[in-house]
Amino acid sequence: MKLRTDRMRVLSIVILVFGLATVAAAKAPDWVKSPPVDSRYYSGVGSAAVIPGSTAHIENARQAALAAIAAQIQVNISAEVMSSIMESGDELAESFRRNIQSSTQAQLEGYEQVGQHSEGGTYYAYYRLSKAKYAEIQAEKRRKASELALSFYREYESSLAAGEPARALNNLIRALESMDAYIPEGLKSRIDGEDVFLSNVFTQKIQSLLDQVEIIADPKVLKVKAGEALKDGGFRVVLSGAAMKNVSLLLESNGSGNELGQAPVTDGSGRASLRTVRIRDAKKIQNIRAELLLQGEKKGGALLYPALLSALNKPAGTMVLQVSGPVIYMTVTETYGGKEPTVKRVEPALKDILTKAGFSFGEDLAAADFMMEVTADAREGSQVHTLFTSFADLNVSVTSMSSGNEIYKKGLNRVKGIDLDFEKAQLKALEAIGEKVQSEIAGELIKALK
């Protein structure tokens, strides 16, 4: 009996010790609520909801901790850099500030994980980065960035001397990109025996080249049909009279719905074709504006140099478009009781909506873009006392002259007209057809023609 009692006591002690150990293990470390402060380190604690069956929460917590570290690293923004950004508007300046934070986090190296903890469905991660190690890494990276930027600058000088302005421009942009992480603080180096801020020198040189660039519409005024591509239109890009090849243009149009396609690129003669641009708006006078699109200007992410490129004044050119609508060859047969009305009801309604949409009408079928055949016929219906009812039918068919295919077909049947005799009732039915053309057919017809 005594032996059994002793065993029970031992078992109770084991259970008690195990329970205390479990409680101790479950207790959150102090750093979860209060990250330690150590002047030698940047410290960050991140947390994320635990995702059952996944390890994504571990990476999410790590990124949150690194973001906390990045927020403690002071980035001194060069006054000259910020001034040029501010001139381009608050939105660009705010985007630049946000990207500085993201860029700093992306550049972090040498950090270490100090602890991790899970509690209540939340995962915690504690990271730290030695300030001395960070300073050492950054000094080496600045040195390498400076060397790479200067190598591109030397290539810029060689390209300029060789009469290759487009290549010279791209080398300057690559120089700026290579020191992207150090743009805010203004990376310094020696050029021509002087200590200078590299980003300032590079952007000034880029602007100097841009000031010499001309974008010339070719031709200045182009006649085009709505719905067609600008087969013969283009822009020539020259720098001090020399053609610039392999440069991109950003297109804008004041026409509604015009398809501009991808940014055109200049060929060996410095000309960018507009053959992929299609004019959808039938407005008589429009324009196409082309602005030089710098390499890397539209890059996203945490990069900083695109903001500097966007802040520069870039050359542009404008082409005037004289737009005419597609030509329709129209035949209309409009009858009531076997005869034609003195004043047609359906044809004017059709021509009104099509003219407003930018289409024109021609008498030469060979020169037309579309052939439209319209038949409208009204017939007697019934009489009830002194009221006479008639009905009208409509058929519309449109054929594309380029393909020979019927692209639109529509019919309206038994549209009613009521009046004091059959003749007037038939004319009323034709009038009702004209109204339905505008209310029910106009939209889909114009869509088919465009």
User: b/e string for 112-132 if b means 16 or more Cβ within 10 A?
Assistant: eebeebeeeeebbbbbbbbee
- For the stretch 108-155, pLDDT in tens is 888 999 999 999 899 999 999 999 998 898 889 889 999 999 999 999
Closest to 224 measured CA to CA, from 330, 358, 351: 358
Same-domain pairing of 122 and 138:
no
Q: Give me the pLDDT at residue 24, please.
A: 41
Q: Which residue has the tokens 């469905």?
A: 121
* Helices and strands (H and E) in the chain: how many: 12, 18
Same-domain pairing of 81 and 189:
no
DSSP structure string for 343-384: S-SHHHHHHHHHHHTT-EE-S-GGG-SEEEEEEEEEEEEEEE
Number of other residues whose CB lies within 10 A of the CB of residue 433: 23
Same-domain pairing of 284 and 335:
no
pLDDT interval class at 242 (50, 70, 90): confident
Same-domain pairing of 115 and 138:
no
Number of other residues whose CB lies within 10 A of the CB of residue 223: 11
- For the stretch 170-229, pLDDT in tens is 999 999 999 888 887 778 888 988 888 898 899 999 999 999 999 999 999 999 988 788
Phi, psi of 270 (to 5 degrees): 85, 15
Q: Give me the pLDDT at residue 3, please.
A: 44
* Lowest-confidence pick of 81-90, 94-103, 209-218, 437-446: 81-90
Q: Does the pLDDT value for residue 47 go beyond 90?
A: yes
Domain holding 378: CATH number? 3.30.160.180
Q: End-to-end distance of the chain based on CA atoms, in angstroms?
A: 102
pLDDT interval class at 81 (50, 70, 90): low
- For the stretch 388-443, pLDDT in tens is 999 999 999 999 998 999 999 999 999 999 999 999 999 999 999 999 988 888 88
Secondary structure of the chain: what % helix, strand, coil (to 5)?
40, 30, 30
Q: Give me the pLDDT at residue 25, please.
A: 47
Q: Does the pLDDT value for residue 291 go beyond 60?
A: yes
Same-domain pairing of 174 and 257:
no
Count of structural domains within the chain = 4
Q: By residue range, what is the domain housing residue 54?
A: 26-131
Same-domain pairing of 139 and 229:
no
Find all residues with CB under 8 Å of 181, minimum gap 6, and list them.
103, 107, 141, 145, 304
Q: How many Cα atoms are found within 13 Å in the side-chain-facing hemisphere of 206?
A: 30
Q: Which residue has the tokens 């010339």?
A: 216
Alpha helical stretches, state H, 211-335: 305-310
Q: Give me the pLDDT at residue 277, please.
A: 94
Q: Give me the pLDDT at residue 207, please.
A: 94
User: CA 450 to CA 5: how far, in whole Å?
Assistant: 97
Q: Which residue has the tokens 């393909």?
A: 403
DSSP structure string for 157-212: HHHHHTT-HHHHHHHHHHHHHHTGGGTTTT-EEEETTEEEEHHHHHHHHHHHHHTT
Domain holding 137: CATH number? 1.20.58
Domain holding 112: CATH number? 3.30.1660
Tokens (6 digits) for 260: 């501009």
> Which of 56-70, 92-106, 293-307 tops mean pLDDT?
56-70
pLDDT interval class at 95 (50, 70, 90): low
Closest to 69 measured CA to CA, from 10, 7, 125, 4: 125
Tokens (6 digits) for 414: 């038994």
Q: Which residue has the tokens 């571990």?
A: 58
Same-domain pairing of 143 and 125:
no
Same-domain pairing of 186 and 221:
no
User: Is 15 domain-assigned?
Assistant: no
Q: CB of 378 within 8 A of CB of 387?
A: no
User: CA 294 to CA 316: how far, in whole Å?
Assistant: 12
Same-domain pairing of 89 and 113:
yes
Q: CB of 380 within 8 A of CB of 337?
A: yes
DSSP structure string for 44-88: EEEEEE--TT--HHHHHHHHHHHHHHHHHS-----HHHHHHHHTT
Find all residues with CB under 8 Å of 450, minimum gap 6, and list them.
226, 227, 280
Q: Does the pLDDT value for residue 317 go beyond 90?
A: yes
